[in-house]
Structure 1
Amino acid sequence: MRFKELFFKFFQCYRLNIRSAIDTREMGLKDIHVRCLFLIASTPDCTATIIVKKMDRDIVQVACLIQEILEKGWIENQGERGDKDNQVLILSKSGSLIQQQINTLEQNLENLILSGLYATGCD
């Protein structure tokens, strides 16, 4: 199997594992939400402008995304810094819980993949 095929299989496995472990349909959690939550959690003083740059999306897409996850209660604005594009975003308690679940799942998946690599002598 070629690397490209393996990579897509891995990515599909990752998505399915996340979806099955967390009730993503009921929560309305999408891949782009996971990515955005990760960016907010891992970036000090994260703003919409930073998300635009790191996700390589236009400001309108990011504004809609941020509004969506604000409405779901997964993030909060941390004070005002003038315009909305520069307000600092932080994870809410429920957003932090989702991020912790995803981190645990990713660690478990990483361990599974590495154990498979070690079993095949690819260490």
Structure 2
Amino acid sequence: MNSEAISAGGAIEEGSAVLDSLNLAKFSAPQIDTALRLVEQLSAPERGDPVSCRSALQAYARGAGFDDAILAAEALRVRVAALAKWRAGHDPLRQSNAQSVVEAAAVSRLSELADGIGFEPAAFQEFILFIEEIPW
């Protein structure tokens, strides 16, 4: 995927090539954590608006030196949204170790789920538990 696969209205084009490209974008846990914090600082209506989220994340991506800030911003936005979706459905009380969740969100594969792009819930939870057990 390149930045042309993102429509002016904020939606990404459907298709496995787009999903593959989103999965090729590599981020560290600190980058995901920064993206989460940036999105959390937006107003509630802005957090629900892909264009507003992407705009905030593009500024970050430019400053962080990503070659394609538009693509990086969209990939970050999708990962943040996937994490929010997973948390809402599988860890609403946020009982999982926060750092392990962010580490998992940085490297877990995004999948096409029944309700859109997200992390496969069981595999994501298992990966979080695995990360928690690593003796850093």
TM over 0.5: no
TM-score scaled to structure 2, two decimals? 0.28
Bigger-Rg structure (1/2): 1
